[in-house]
């Protein structure tokens, strides 16, 4: 199709459980595309059920990229993701296909579309030392330290946002550079145009889908999946496991909560996550919203295809 010659990338975004994965597959079939995941959890290996990864059948029908490529023990920044995604996009263009970025990780998508700095490598010993200090000295002490070494990074942060506090200190002590300064050093803009489509639906319908998916995950073996991960001796405090579905299941397996409470917490926390995602995406005026209530993924994909053609005419 002609929009491939214009180097246009299609993005399908929206909250969890809204049908992005299925719609992305159907859209890829319609416009001869390949899917690039923009999910900060699906990129990791071993966590399959709780992240609702594309099924083996879907991956056979349509090539998927950036799924199952990072070990649980490793972390990948938004800037690192953007570099991988841009590489995949170029390869897809070279094959004469259309790149379709599908996911709900807002920071990943922003880094890909608008650019985000590539943070320097963090010294593992510094990371370990800071986490040990966090346990002994507390969050308030480390926040005060960040205010001294990088006031720009600390501005507006509260002690509860300890991940960003630690990140700022890690970068400073590993590189001698302030993360607030590095954020101003954006890479060159991408040599492609992204058209973003957001999938939305009535909240009560989305919440029913969230509850149904949670029940399906439990039935599919989420507890057994987490038990197997812990059985490998993998640290449950890893960032990759600090996500809805896994945090609650780990608490259940530790005997901290009952089974029924685990299920209820997963549903509640997933609803909250979906709300945060929508808040994030609604701020981006470039997103073209598609109402999906009562529609199948095939119908939504066809609606997106028509909108792409109209947008392509406007771009030309």
3-state SS of the chain is: CHHHHCCEEEEEECCCCCCHHHHHHHHHHHHCEEEEECCCCCCECCCCCCCCCCCHHHHHHCCEECCCCECCCCCCCHHHHHHHHHHHHHHHHHCCCEEEEECCCHHHHHHHHHCCCCCCCCCHHHHHHHHHHHHHHCHHHHHHHHHHHCHHHHCCCCCCCHHHHHHHHHHHHHHCCCHHHHCCCCCCCCCCEEEEEEEECCHHHHHHHHHHHHHHHHHHCHHHHHHHHHHCCCCCCCHHHCCCCHHHHHHHHCCCCCHHHHHHHHHHHHHHHHHHHHHHHHCCCCCEEEECCCCCHHHHHHHHHHHHHHHHHHHC
pTM: 0.81
Domains of the chain plus CATH, in order, are 2-116+187-315 (3.40.50.300), 124-182 (1.10.20.140)
Q: What is the residue-level pLDDT of the chain in tens, covering all 316 positions? A: 444 456 999 999 999 999 999 999 999 999 999 999 999 999 999 999 999 999 999 999 999 999 999 999 998 888 889 999 999 999 999 999 999 999 999 989 999 998 766 667 788 889 889 988 988 999 899 999 999 999 998 887 766 677 889 989 999 998 888 988 887 766 666 789 999 999 999 999 999 999 999 999 999 999 999 999 999 999 999 989 999 999 999 999 999 999 999 999 999 999 999 999 999 999 999 999 999 999 999 999 999 999 999 887 665 5
């Amino acid at each position: 199709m002609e929009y491939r010659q214009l180097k246009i990338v299609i993005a399908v975004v929206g909250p969890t459980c809204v049908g992005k994965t299925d719609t992305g597959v159907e859209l890829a079939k319609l416009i001869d595309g390949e899917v690039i995941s923009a999910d900060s959890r699906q990129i990791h290996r071993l966590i399959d059920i709780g992240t609702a990864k594309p099924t083996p059948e879907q991956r056979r029908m349509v090539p998927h990229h950036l799924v199952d490529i990072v070990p649980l023990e490793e972390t990948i920044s938004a800037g690192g993701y953007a570099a991988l995604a841009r590489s995949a996009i170029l390869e897809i263009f070279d094959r004469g296909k259309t790149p379709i970025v599908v996911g709900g990780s807002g920071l990943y998508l922003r880094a890909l579309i608008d650019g985000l700095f590539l943070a320097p490598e963090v010294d593992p010993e510094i990371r370990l030392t800071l986490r040990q200090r966090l346990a002994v000295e507390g969050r308030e002490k480390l926040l005060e330290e960040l205010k001294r070494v990088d006031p720009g990074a600390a501005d507006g942060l509260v002690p509860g946002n300890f991940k960003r506090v630690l990140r700022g200190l890690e970068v400073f002590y590993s590189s001698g550079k302030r993360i607030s300064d590095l954020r101003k050093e954006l890479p060159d803009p991408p040599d492609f145009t992204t058209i973003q489509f957001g999938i939305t639906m009535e909240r009560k319908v989305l919440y029913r889908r969230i509850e149904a998916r949670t029940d399906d995950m439990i039935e599919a073996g989420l507890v057994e999946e987490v038990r197997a991960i812990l059985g490998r001796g993998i640290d449950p405090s890893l960032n990759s496991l600090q996500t809805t579905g896994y945090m609650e299941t780990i608490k259940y397996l530790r005997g901290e909560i009952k089974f029924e409470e685990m299920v209820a917490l997963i549903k509640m926390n997933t609803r909250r996550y979906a709300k945060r995602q929508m808040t994030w995406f609604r701020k981006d005026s470039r997103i073209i919203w598609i109402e999906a209530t009562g529609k199948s993924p095939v119908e939504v994909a066809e609606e997106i295809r028509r909108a792409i053609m109209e947008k392509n005419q406007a771009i030309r």
